[in-house]
Structure 1
Amino acid sequence: MKKLIFFLLAVVLVVALAGCGSKGTGGTKYKFATNAAYAPMEYMDKDKLIGFDIDFFAEVMKEAGLDYEITNTGWDTMLTNVKQGKEFQGGVSAVSITDDRKQTYDYSIPYFESMNMILVKEGSPIKSADDLKDKKVAVQISTTADTLMSKILGEKNPSLKRLDNNTLALMELENNGVDAVVADIAIVREYVKNNPNKKFVTISDPKNFESEYYGILLPKGSELKAKLDPAIKKIIENGAYAKVYKKWFGQEPDTKKLLEQK
């Protein structure tokens, strides 16, 4: 009889534990990809994945009650795999929302305002994007910087160097392989901050480079959008977003403008 009681208790315990998945997930763990070469948005600190996007996404998934993991992949690999929606259910990697990408992907609501910026060496004659027309420029391939510079220089112009990530683009500028780098403002400013002795100059050009917004990248028709959008809105409204933003950028975000975006 005692053996039977112990057996029944063990069965009950196993069933109870099986039901203890993440809140609202039924035990589902969602897999997301990122390209961790985009400091301060996402990058590797030894073997640890850190950055604004990583902390922001943790708050979103906590609010949504969803279990998840993020894997560091290459940029193009992330785009391809999220499009397929098999290995990864989404991408969190400072992905700008564009009309072109909307043909292939779904997005969460916007969560970050950005703008492309020009980086040159001190003493450069370059003062705006118009000055880049006869110069060598490095960009990360398949980014909005690539799209912008393809329009300015010409898509097949050999002076436009499309590289796998911004780290390589910045190295090209350091080694005098190009005259300028065009990349997201957060990446450019972080690089300048971390390299004060290299005498780089940042150039904003709102006439040619308009504001753009990041969203969480999702496969077309993803059921996750209905879960992520309310969670993003909630953490922006309750102050959790501002806390993460100040941690990484040292200032308050314009959450009012962000919430006005659709």
Structure 2
Amino acid sequence: MHSTTRQFLKTAALAACGVLLAACGKKDAPAPAASAPASAPVAASAPPPAKVYVVGTDAAYAPFESQNEKGEIVGFSVDLLTAVAAKGGFEIKFVNTPWEGIFNALAQGDRDLLISSITITDERKQTMDFSEPYFDAYQLIAVKADSKVAKFDDLKKLKVGVQTGTTGDEVVTKLQGKNSTNVKRFESTPLALKELEAGGVDAVVADNGVVVNYVQNNAGAKFKTVSDSAFAPEQYGIAVKKGNAELLDKVNKGLAAIKADGSYDTLYAKAFGAAPKPASAASK
């Protein structure tokens, strides 16, 4: 063979051996896996956003719930539930909800909570759950200053304004009869009181807090109020969907906390100008 041929064969043999050695090396020492070593830190997933509970309220019932000049929902109910949520550890958002559909909105899940001066009754307990009471109320009669009405029974044959579906509506309907044409129903108590001012009705029956607030802030209407021991005392509660025990527990814990630390009394005085009275005193 020519020396060049021998050199070629020697080089080829060495190259072949190198390939074999390289192949053996890959088998004996595999490359590290592409995945990160076990000791590498794993990024924590972001916590889910906190649930914001939607609160329905009919914002036409000052001083409990109404809208200010900016369209914001304000009042005792708003301040109270805001404080309750802070103590109970949950977030809320208020949505103005007409009274006529407010209970359906809760039942259908469009609202998680209701705070709208809702009287706790056995009938309502059948379709929703209530918090512990947060306000003692009673019905009050508003009439013109020169009216001769002195007691509830005097309204039997008069035109009486009420807010549809309220306790006032119920008691006046019971007094006059369900077919009475003298029971005049309105979307809100302030509308009924405006009608009294205009002379369209002879009296209005509604919750004391709303009537007193209206009379105090509309001196030109020249109204007076008439109470009657025949009116049973009532209590307002915060409503949740039937069976929602978890949310109800949060609400009750928050409510108990603001009553214990004095926050409730402060909010009450801000709205009504005085400390709360016991239910027995309020019903007189």
Counterpart residue number, 2:37: none
In the alignment, which of 32, 48, 51 is matched to residue 28 of structure 1? Answer: 51
The amino acid across from 1:109 in the alignment is E
In the alignment, which of 251, 270, 277 is matched to residue 228 of structure 1? Answer: 251
CA distance in 2 between counterparts of 1:192 and 1:148 reads: 21
Helix, strand or coil: the match of 1:33? strand
Would you say 1:19 and 2:47 are equivalent positions?
Answer: yes
Q: Write the deviation string for residues 146-196 of structure 1: whole angstroms up to 9, x where unpaired.
A: 111111111221100111111221121111111000011010000011111
Counterpart residue number, 1:198: 221
CA distance in 2 between counterparts of 1:111 and 1:189 reads: 19
**2:190–2:214 CA contact under 8 A, matched in 1:** no
CA distance in 2 between counterparts of 1:126 and 1:91 reads: 35
Counterpart residue number, 1:252: 275
CA distance in 2 between counterparts of 1:160 and 1:254 reads: 31
**2:162–2:168 CA contact under 8 A, matched in 1:** yes
Would you say 1:150 and 2:173 are equivalent positions?
Answer: yes
Would you say 1:57 and 2:85 are equivalent positions?
Answer: no
Counterpart residue number, 2:96: 72
**2:118–2:238 CA contact under 8 A, matched in 1:** yes
Question: What does residue range 17-166 of structure 1 map to in structure 2 within 5 Å?
Answer: 18-19=46-47, 21=49, 27-46=50-69, 47-84=71-108, 86-166=109-189
The amino acid across from 1:220 in the alignment is K
Q: Write the deviation string for residues 7-26 of structure 1: whole angstroms up to 9, x where unpaired.
A: x99x65xx4xx3285xxxxx
Counterpart residue number, 1:178: 201
Helix, strand or coil: the match of 2:256? helix
Helix, strand or coil: the match of 2:146? coil
Q: Write the deviation string for residues 21-60 of structure 1: whole angstroms up to 9, x where unpaired.
A: 5xxxxx1111110000000000000211100000000000
**2:66–2:73 CA contact under 8 A, matched in 1:** yes
CA distance in 1 between counterparts of 2:53 and 2:179 reads: 39
Counterpart residue number, 1:24: none
CA distance in 1 between counterparts of 2:110 and 2:128 reads: 15
Counterpart residue number, 1:3: none
Q: How many residues align?
A: 240
TM-score of the superposed pair, with normalisation by structure 1 = 0.87
Structure 2 gap segments, 5+ residues each: 1-39
Counterpart residue number, 1:210: 232
Q: 1:197: Cα distance to partner?
A: 2.0
CA distance in 1 between counterparts of 2:253 and 2:185 reads: 36
Q: Write the deviation string for residues 77-110 of structure 1: whole angstroms up to 9, x where unpaired.
A: 21211122x1111111110001111111111110
Helix, strand or coil: the match of 1:68? strand
Helix, strand or coil: the match of 2:268? helix
The amino acid across from 1:120 in the alignment is V
CA distance in 2 between counterparts of 1:136 and 1:52 reads: 31
The amino acid across from 2:233 in the alignment is S
CA distance in 2 between counterparts of 1:182 and 1:158 reads: 16
CA distance in 1 between counterparts of 2:249 and 2:276 reads: 24
The amino acid across from 1:210 in the alignment is A
CA distance in 1 between counterparts of 2:257 and 2:48 reads: 25
Structure 1 residue ranges (4+ consecutive) displaced by more than 6 angstroms after TM superposition: none
Q: Aligned in 2, Cα 1:254/1:119: closer, same or farther, shift over 3 Å?
A: closer
Q: Write the deviation string for residues 206-246 of structure 1: whole angstroms up to 9, x where unpaired.
A: 2x212100000122111311211121112111101011001
